Chains A and B, each alone.
Chain A
Amino acid sequence: MLEVANLSYTLPNQTTLFDDISLTLDEGEIIGLSGASGLGKTTFAKVITGYLPAQSGEINCKSLKNKPHPVQLIWQHPEQSVNPKWRLQKVLEEAGDINKHLLNQLNIPFEWLQRYPHQLSGGQLQRICIARCLLTNPSYIIADEITTMLDPIAQAEIWQLIMEYVQKNKIGLLIISHDHPLLENLCEKILDFTQFVKPFEGLSRNNDEGVRT
């Protein structure tokens, strides 16, 4: 079980982004997280997955030295998350030995492995990123708006593949998205990130860019 207790994060400019978040994610559980733009959802995901240090609070999954982090983050922009100078074979091998069965499950033809990232479409590249994440055998996955840039059909395809894998391997999944119908479809429980932000903070923040839902 992934347990996050009393987690806070403060930006370098001393504004507190979120305060005192507690959350648990069971193996095989699927939770949705939504909230207006700029509230700090991505930052929250990065803190849990070890990209950013927490201000205070406890997370019970820590990475071991030279081992993949047990909580893996899948980023929103696949073209920034792979080294443009590497063949996709190397991109996948960075995470672990390539598992042919897994590639089949994700509909990744072997022919792609000899290509460079710019020779795939965004959706295809996102599947590579998902494969890379799964190759580390994570216990928990945080998916941060991973299908926002895709059309509904490609979205449905990717989510179907992920759901199959996650349910079979009992992986805890936290889905961050602005797409409420999607979350209602996939998740057992939907959290609103607004509750973690101090109310007056949330109001004073400029929300014009985002949609409050």
Chain B
Amino acid sequence: MKKNMLIPLFLFLVFYLLSFVINDTIRLDLIGKNQAPSLSHLFGTDWLGRDMLLRTLKGIQLSITLGIVTALLSTCLGLLLSLLATFNPLFDKLVAWLIDLFLSLPHLVTLILISFVLGGGFKGVVIGLMLTHWPAITRVLRAELLQLQTMPYVQISKQLGKGFWWRARHHFLPHLFPQLMVGFTLIFPHAILHEASITFLGFGLSAEQPAIGIILSESMQYLSSGMWWLAFFPGLTLLMMIILFQCFAKAFKHYLERDRSYGHYFNG
């Protein structure tokens, strides 16, 4: 049980931290450019002779950081807003209105506007992504909380003298945890892809930052000349990282909901 959770997490962290260990700068090598994958360059080299493995690892690190920070911030914002909405009917109206407003605007346009106003870069992209990705999860959490509030055990809790924040901590949070996890794992790849697309359009990260999105959009032009490895390996690595992350999230969810009361019957 614990193994299911720790192995994906371990692999994920290894890939993520590998690029911190490899500290040497990625060298240009114009003689060895456009090489197909080989033993000396596992992922091949690009049009400037840079080793694609190193670029991918660096890119993964930046993209994952961005994805995690954004997913975390949007989930927290969603949780806070949905709790406020249940706290007071006035806030509820306000939050519902804000959700409708943000959902009716095209995602990418809002993102570009916010990121542009904040001057782009890592900070601009993260804040832009956070402010555009909260409505979907907030809507789910708010609906879940509205339903939860009608449950007898929540109403009883109130009559047992427990205040709103106590109920939020003990009744609402454990109930919302699966939704939070799912929301987080859905926003995470979304954020990375959106980062890639606005970077591609020139409003996101600057071109010298080695994000996966930049690698992918740059290699677009070379794909037609048969250099498949430029996009294949970075894309595959990104996919693998996201799958590893989701394996961990799923096992973690099971781990939290496990049944401890009869555990000793099975563990001997």
Listed in ascending order, the chain A residues whose CB lies under 8 Å from chain B are: 49-51, 63, 65-69, 72-73, 75, 77, 80-83, 85, 87, 90, 94-95, 114-116, 119, 132, 136
Asked if B119 is an interface residue, CB under 8 A from chain A, the answer is no
Ordered nearest first, which 8 A-B pairs have the shortest CB separation? A68-B161, A80-B152, A69-B159, A81-B152, A67-B161, A114-B261, A83-B153, A115-B261
Enumerate chain B residues within 8 angstroms of A85, measured Cβ to Cβ.
Answer: 174-175, 257
In the docked arrangement, what's the CA distance between A153 and B175, Å?
A: 36
Say yes or no: B162 contacts A94, CB within 8 Å.
Answer: yes
Knowing A75-B152, A81-B152, A85-B174 touch, does A68 contact B259 (C-beta < 8 A)? Answer: no
Say yes or no: B153 contacts A63, CB within 8 Å.
Answer: no
Enumerate chain A residues within 8 angstroms of B151, measured Cβ to Cβ.
Answer: 80
Asked if B41 is an interface residue, CB under 8 A from chain A, the answer is no
Interface residues of B in 248-262 (CB under 8 A from A): 257, 259-261
The 8 A CB mask of B152-186 against A (1 = contact, 0 = none) is 11011101111100000011001100000000000
Say yes or no: A136 contacts B160, CB within 8 Å.
Answer: yes
The 8 A CB mask of B234-267 against A (1 = contact, 0 = none) is 0000000000000000000000010111000000
In the docked arrangement, what's the CA distance between A66 and B163, Å?
A: 6
Residue in contact with B156 in the complex, picked from A67, A75, A119, CB distance below 8 Å:
A75
Shortest CB-to-CB span from A210 to chain B, Å, is 22
Enumerate chain A residues within 8 angstroms of B162, measured Cβ to Cβ.
Answer: 66, 94
Shortest CB-to-CB span from B4 to chain A, Å, is 21
Say yes or no: A81 contacts B156, CB within 8 Å.
Answer: yes
Enumerate chain B residues within 8 angstroms of A65, measured Cβ to Cβ.
Answer: 163
Shortest CB-to-CB span from B164 to chain A, Å, is 10
Enumerate chain B residues within 8 angstroms of A63, measured Cβ to Cβ.
Answer: 159, 161
Shortest CB-to-CB span from A134 to chain B, Å, is 12
Shortest CB-to-CB span from B181 to chain A, Å, is 14
Say yes or no: A77 contacts B152, CB within 8 Å.
Answer: yes
A sample of 28 inter-chain contacts (CB < 8 A) reads A50-B159, A51-B159, A63-B161, A65-B163, A66-B161, A66-B162, A66-B163, A67-B161, A68-B161, A69-B161, A72-B159, A73-B156, A73-B159, A80-B152, A80-B153, A81-B152, A81-B156, A83-B153, A85-B174, A85-B175, A94-B157, A94-B160, A94-B170, A114-B261, A115-B261, A116-B259, A132-B160, A136-B161
In the docked arrangement, what's the CA distance between A95 and B153, Å?
A: 12
In the docked arrangement, what's the CA distance between A202 and B257, Å?
A: 48
Shortest CB-to-CB span from B126 to chain A, Å, is 33
Question: Which one of A85, A95, A132 has the greatest number of beta carbons of chain B within 10 Å?
Answer: A85
Q: Which residue of B lies closest to A78 (CB)?
A: B152
Say yes or no: B261 contacts A87, CB within 8 Å.
Answer: yes
Say yes or no: A68 contacts B159, CB within 8 Å.
Answer: yes
Say yes or no: A95 contacts B160, CB within 8 Å.
Answer: yes
| Further contacts, 12 of them, CB under 8 A, given A75-B156, A80-B153, A94-B162 | A49-B159, A63-B159, A68-B159, A68-B160, A69-B159, A69-B160, A69-B161, A83-B153, A85-B174, A94-B157, A119-B261, A132-B160
Enumerate chain A residues within 8 angstroms of B155, measured Cβ to Cβ.
Answer: 51
Enumerate chain A residues within 8 angstroms of B161, measured Cβ to Cβ.
Answer: 63, 66-69, 136
In the docked arrangement, what's the CA distance between A83 and B171, Å?
A: 8
Say yes or no: A81 contacts B153, CB within 8 Å.
Answer: yes
In the docked arrangement, what's the CA distance between A66 and B162, Å?
A: 6
Q: Which residue of B lies closest to A114 (CB)?
A: B261
Knowing A68-B159, A69-B161, A85-B175 touch, does A116 contact B153 (C-beta < 8 A)? Answer: no
Enumerate chain B residues within 8 angstroms of A51, measured Cβ to Cβ.
Answer: 155, 159
Q: Which residue of B lies closest to A68 (CB)?
A: B161
Interface residues of B in 134-164 (CB under 8 A from A): 151-153, 155-157, 159-163
Residue in contact with A116 in the complex, picked from B156, B160, B163, B261, CB distance below 8 Å:
B261
Q: Which residue of A lies closest to B259 (CB)?
A: A116
